[in-house]
């Protein structure tokens, strides 16, 4: 069958369409090239905090930039190391990629999702207040998380200036005895009497630390004591992000003052929002047992290999609890976590 010939009008229409497409492609290419030209060179940076769909990036020279995030990157948090570029508008930029994380701390979010708290941390300070009270269950949860991340943690007993007599001290000591037995560092602290602050600075020196704990634990007061010019820094961050001083519910990274003149700063401290409840990453029964080191001497002594240490007979863990070799509070927190993890699967 012979090909149908195009009329002169049809030929003109085809030529016109080709020219339009060519112009559009050239324009898109030019715009893309123009956008690339307007951006600065790629460099590394540190996430100070996130707000909305943007982050505050600290450059290698210490300046702060409001940055958009490439869509494929997902959520970025305080402590993330990133590759970014300056944008055409002053003090703005674009984050192109995130460098591999070492350790990341997360907590439960809405509708069963997890919410990142901090990235690249290597030290956890569990802040527990004398008032309104110390919660061993929350301590255990954070200790499990630290053990999962394989990073050190200490327990900071804050507001010890409120302990007025020897009986108060003895009650706190009894509550903390299981952790003392496990050789976990317990640090009494007070911003009023300055108790424990020098020791805390030494613990955190040169590290990327994060303070965690319930609302009302006094984390902000501790940070104010550790960073004397904090109000100036908060004001600068507020101006840089365009947010009010008390509107953010995200983690914020601060540089600690150096211990001596040989250091640019004394490490980084990430302040995390106070929460009512915290859960470590769900894990198997055997993994959870491994995150309770006081269980170790008795594991393998149960009648059943898959013993959950709850209703099974001849359980070595329950026997150790009855004999006082494992603290009842530790056993109870283990059972609560085990139940939660089962519900998540």
Q: Is the dihedral of CA 51, 206, 161, 231 positive or negative?
A: negative
- If we measure between CA atoms, which residue out of 119, 63, 69 comes closest to residue 93? 69
pLDDT tens track for 215-233: 888 888 899 899 887 776 7
Model confidence, pTM: 0.82
The pLDDT assigned to 255 comes to 93
pLDDT tens track for 18-40: 665 655 554 444 444 445 557 88
The Cβ of residue 9 has, within 10 Å, a number of other Cβ atoms equal to 7
Phi, psi of 104 (to 5 degrees): -130, 135
pLDDT tens track for 171-210: 999 999 999 999 999 999 999 999 999 999 999 999 999 9
**Fold exhibited by the domain 104-271:** Rossmann fold (3.40.50)
pLDDT tens track for 257-288: 988 877 778 899 998 877 777 899 999 999 99
The pLDDT assigned to 110 comes to 60
3-state DSSP call for residue 80? Answer: coil
Residue owning tokens 């490439």: 70
pLDDT tens track for 57-108: 999 999 999 999 998 898 899 999 999 999 989 889 999 999 999 999 987 7
Q: Please tell me the CATH superfamily of domain 285-344, with its number.
A: Probable gtpase engc; domain 3 (1.10.40.50)
| d(C-alpha 43, C-alpha 58), whole Å | 11
Which DSSP state fits 106? E
Tokens of residue 275, six digits: 């929460």
Terminal alpha carbon distance of the chain? 66
**Fold exhibited by the domain 43-98:** OB fold (Dihydrolipoamide Acetyltransferase, E2P) (2.40.50)
Q: How do the domains of the chain map onto residue ranges?
A: 43-98, 104-271, 285-344
pLDDT band at 316 (very low <50, low <70, confident <90, very high): very high
């Amino acid at each position: 069958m012979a090909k149908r010939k195009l009329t002169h009008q049809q030929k003109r229409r085809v030529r016109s369409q080709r020219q339009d497409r060519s112009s559009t492609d050239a324009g898109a290419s030019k715009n893309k090239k123009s956008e690339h030209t307007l951006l600065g060179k790629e460099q590394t940076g540190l996430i100070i905090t996130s707000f909305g769909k943007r982050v505050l990036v600290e450059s290698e020279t210490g300046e702060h930039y409001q940055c958009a995030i490439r869509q494929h990157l997902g959520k970025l948090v305080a402590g993330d190391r990133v590759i970014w570029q300056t944008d055409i508008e002053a003090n703005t930029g674009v984050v192109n990629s995130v460098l591999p994380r070492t350790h990341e701390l997360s907590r439960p979010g809405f509708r069963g999702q997890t919410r990142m708290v901090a990235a690249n941390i290597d030290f956890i300070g569990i802040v527990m207040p004398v008032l309104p009270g110390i919660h061993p269950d929350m301590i255990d949860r954070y200790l499990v998380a630290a053990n999962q991340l394989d990073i050190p943690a200490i327990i900071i007993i804050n507001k010890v200036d409120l302990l007025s007599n020897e009986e108060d001290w003895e009650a706190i000591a009894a509550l903390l005895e299981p952790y003392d037995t496990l050789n976990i560092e317990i640090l009494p602290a007070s911003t009023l009497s300055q108790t424990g602050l020098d020791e805390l600075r030494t613990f955190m020196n040169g590290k990327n630390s994060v303070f965690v704990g319930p609302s009302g634990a006094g984390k902000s007061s501790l940070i104010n004591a550790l960073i004397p010019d904090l109000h100036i820094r908060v004001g600068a961050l507020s101006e840089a992000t365009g947010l009010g001083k008390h509107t953010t519910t995200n983690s914020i990274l601060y540089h600690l003052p150096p211990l001596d003149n040989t250091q640019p700063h004394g490490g980084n401290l990430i302040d995390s929002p106070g929460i009512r409840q915290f859960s470590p990453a769900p894990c198997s029964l055997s993994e959870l047992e491994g995150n309770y080191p006081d269980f170790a001497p008795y594991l393998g002594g149960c009648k059943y290999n898959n013993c959950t240490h709850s209703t099974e007979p001849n359980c070595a863990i329950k026997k150790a609890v009855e004999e006082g070799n494992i603290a009842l509070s530790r056993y109870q927190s283990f059972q609560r976590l085990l139940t939660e993890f089962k519900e998540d699967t």
